Amino acid sequence: GSQGLESPSALLGASFGQMLGAGRRVALGVGEQQALLMAGASAGIAAVFSSPGVGALYGMEIPWRRDVDAPRGI
């Protein structure tokens, strides 16, 4: 992972999103839980870089990152 401020801020933001979802009286589906995690992580990235646009791009990139990564060789 990253050694800068990006990784801890994304993890803290994701944990806030998870706590928000867990505190609800109505059970959320898997999609809603993942959306809250991603929104929290995006908010953390946006806070570190002081740019809401970077947070929005991060939130759009991460769910599809595994689909576009090059396969790793042996």
Tell me the mean pLDDT per 10 residues along the chain, length 74. Answer: 69 80 75 81 84 83 66 64
Specify the pTM: 0.65
Residue-wise over 4-36: b if at least 16 C-beta within 10 A, else e? Answer: eebeebbeebbebbeeebeeeeeeeeeeeeebb
Per-residue pLDDT at 39: 84
Per-residue pLDDT at 65: 66
Return the amino acid letter for 33.
Answer: Q
Per-residue pLDDT at 2: 56
Give the C-alpha separation, 63 to 54, whole Å. Answer: 15
